[in-house]
Structure 1
Amino acid sequence: MALQPTDLLAITRPSGAGAGSYQLPAAALAELVAQLLPPQLLLETAVRSGNTTLALADAGRVVPVATSSSGVTVTVPAEASVAFAIGTVVNVYNAGSAAITVAGASGVTVRNGGLVAPLQEVSLRKRAANEWVLAGTVTASKDDAPAAVQAAILNVAGLGSSSVGGGLIQTTSG
């Protein structure tokens, strides 16, 4: 059973100055412990080598993913599958030579998700049930922007007109 911030802890001093019983809110104890202990280190989990879904044991840790093939995805699971606490942070380190994708399972929103380049690390923080925020350097995946937006960017950049084919931007000089 986990303590809740509103739980009260009983402290008894049997004799001497200040003898008696006292109650301390669990939230106050957690704050005191945080002040007394050194900052928590981010330890790595075992290296993953293919598609992987985050697990509760990954909370507060670095998940290294080593792959030499593209198309590998780190999936953030739905709340119904894995109940991470709100505020949980999980780092993902791309230890491989190909980009990996960080994405949410069906019904899960990963804000700022995308491709993580080789030898880069990103952080995922749970904001709410089925909502995570990714912080760090990512490359937007080709499907993140609508075709019209991709074409407008190319035109503003002076690259000529554009058309979209197969999910990739193709340009023609004008």
Structure 2
Amino acid sequence: MRRSPRPALAAALLAAAALVLTACGADDSGAPAPAGTTSARAAVAWDPCLALPAELIRAAGFDPASRRADTAQSPAGGWAGCGWSDGTTALRVHAADEPAGDLPGTPDTVAGEPATRFTEGAFDCTLQLPAASGGAVRLRIDTRPSGPELGAPCELAHRAAAVLAPALP
């Protein structure tokens, strides 16, 4: 009698989902992993999860309670990130102590400071700014194709960056 492959397939899918969720490094507290634990989250001098005040996140249009540690954009390490969401739009802020290097993008400005703007598609926009410490900060907006029309992702990124600029390094 031949056994059905469904239980094995279900177990494999569950294991893969757990691996993906673990690899993203998100946690509900938004705080860095405690010392002595293994995590993809980098220790940086300016951590957006700890440094960006709730009132600025709210003023930028996001719920401070939606904060999640975000390491998805930094697979090589060296970046710490945090993300917030309003249900249809997500804001991600990443910081690194080292310069990020030249990225293919368009020269831009944020709050009078030089920046680089780049996108990966029609529903995202990233603004990269140099940090005073010599590192870099990236602000990224991701929108859902089915979400309400709130503006182009780069317009939203500029609005969020203008609100957060006083707290950026």
Q: Bin the TM-score by the shorter chain.
A: under 0.3
Q: Whose RCO is larger (CA < 8 A, sep 6+)?
A: 2
Structure number with the higher strand fraction is 1
Structure number with the higher helix fraction is 2
Quick check: which has more Rg, 1 or 2?
A: 1
What is the TM-score when the length of structure 2 is the normalising length?
0.26
